[in-house]
A and B are shown apart, each in its own frame.
Chain A
Amino acid sequence: MKRIIFIAIIFVALITLATIEVISVNNVIKHLEIETTEIQSQIEYNKEDVSVVLNKVENIKNYWNKYENKLCLIFNHKDLSTITDSLNKLSSYVENNDYDNAFVESNLLVEYATKSKHVMGFNLQNLF
C-alpha cells in the first residue's frame, strides 16, 4: 500500500510538472517569439534609425531576465544563455544604430525562440 501511495504521488507530481511546464514555457517562449518578430520587422522598417526599437528591446530583455531563472529549472542552461547573449547583442546594436548587425541578431533571436518552442514541445520529432 505504501508503495502504491509513493508511486501515485510520483505520477501526479510528474503530470503536474509536465502540465505546468507546457503552459508556462509556452507562454514565455510565445511572448518572446511575438516580441522579437515585431522588433525584427520594426528594424527592417526603420533602417535609418534602428534605435527607435530600443525601448522594445529593453522591455523584452527585462521580461526574459525575469523568467530566465525559472526556465533554468527545466531548460538546458546553454540554450537559455544563447538567447540572453543574443538579446544583449541586439540591445547594443540597436543602441549604436547598427542596422546590419541589429537585423541579423533580431533574425537569430526569432530563430532561437522558434527553435526553443520546438525543442520544448511535445511532438513527433522530439519523440524520435
Chain B
Amino acid sequence: MTFTLIVRSILIYFLVFIFLRIMGKRQIGEMQPFELVITLIFADLATIPMSDTALPLVHGIIPIATLAIIHFILTTLSMNSLFFRKLINGKPVIVINPDGVDYDNLSKLNMNFNDLMENLRGCGYFNIEEVLYAIVQTNGTLTVLPRAPYAPITANNLKIDVEQSSLPIILISEGKAVKENFKLAKLNINFVNEKIKDYNIKPDDVIFAQINNKGKLYVQPKKGKFILIETNYNGDGNW
C-alpha cells in the first residue's frame, strides 16, 4: 500500500505540475477570479485519488484535464473579446479619484476604509491626501497614481540625461558556467578566468559572476568579498 501511495503521489504531483505549466505562468502569480477557482478545485481533485487507493487515478486525471481545457477556453475568450474579458475578469474599479474616496465603489468591492488604508500603505502611501487615483485591479491588487507633489522624482523631472543601463547577464551561477549566457554575450569562460587572475581567485572558487553591457564584471568568490572588475567589454550589442 505504501508503494502505491508513493507512486500515486508522484504521478499526481507531476500531473498537476504539467497542467499548471500548460495553463500558463499567471496561474501561480496574480490570479484572476476564475483562475483562483480552478486552482482551489485542482488542489482538492489532486489529493482525493492520491490518498484513496480505491479510486482509480483517472478519477483525478479526467476532472483536472477537463478544468485545464475550460481554463484554456476562458483565457482565450478573455484575450480575444473585450466583452468576455469584462464578464470573466471583471473590470478595474476606481476607489479614489481627485474628489476623494468613492465610497459606493468601495462598498461594491466589500472593502472598508481599513482595507483601503492597508493597501495604500502597502503601495507606500501613508496619507490618503497624497493619492490622486487608486484603482483596484481585476486580480485584487491596488495601484496608485500619486498627486504630483508626492510623486517620486525621476531623472526626467530634473532634466538630467541618464545613460540607459542594460540587464546584467549571469555568466556563472552556483560555480557552474551558464553556457547559453556565455553564447549570448559572445564570451567564453577564459574571459572570466583572465580577469580574476589579478585578484588571486582560482576559477573553481567563483560561485557567481555577472556582466553588464558597460563591461562591469561582478564576481562573487565562495569566501570573501565580491569584486567589481572594469573590463573593455561593451556588450557587442548582443542583448
Binding site for B on A (CB under 8 A): 3, 6-7, 10-11, 13-14, 17, 72-78
Contact = CB atoms under 8 A, between A and B. Distances in A.
B72 A74 contact: no
B127 to A, nearest CB: 45
B58 A13 contact: no
Interface string B122-165: 00000000000000000000000000000000000000000000
B109 interface: no
A108 to B, nearest CB: 20
Contact of B55 (A7, A17, A77): A77
Contacts of A77: 53-56
* Chief secondary structure at chain B's binding surface: helix
Contact of B62 (A6, A17, A75): A17
B56 A74 contact: yes
Nearest to A72: B56
Contact of A10 (B24, B54, B58, B65): B65
B22 A6 contact: yes
A76 B55 contact: yes
Contacts, number: 35
Contacts of A76: 54-56, 59
A13 to B, nearest CB: 7
Nearest to A73: B56
Interface residues of B, number: 14
A7 B22 contact: yes
A94 B59 CA distance: 36
21 contacts: A3-B22, A3-B24, A7-B68, A10-B22, A10-B68, A10-B69, A11-B69, A13-B65, A14-B65, A14-B66, A14-B69, A17-B62, A72-B56, A73-B56, A73-B58, A74-B56, A76-B54, A76-B55, A76-B56, A77-B56, A78-B54
A74 B68 contact: no
A17 B58 CA distance: 10
B121 to A, nearest CB: 38
Interface in B71-119: 72
Given A3-B22, A7-B69, A10-B69, A74 B53 contact: no
A98 B68 CA distance: 54
Interface string B44-64: 000000000111101100100
Nearest to B75: A3
A7 B67 CA distance: 11
Nearest to B24: A3
A74 B203 CA distance: 57
Contacts of A13: 65
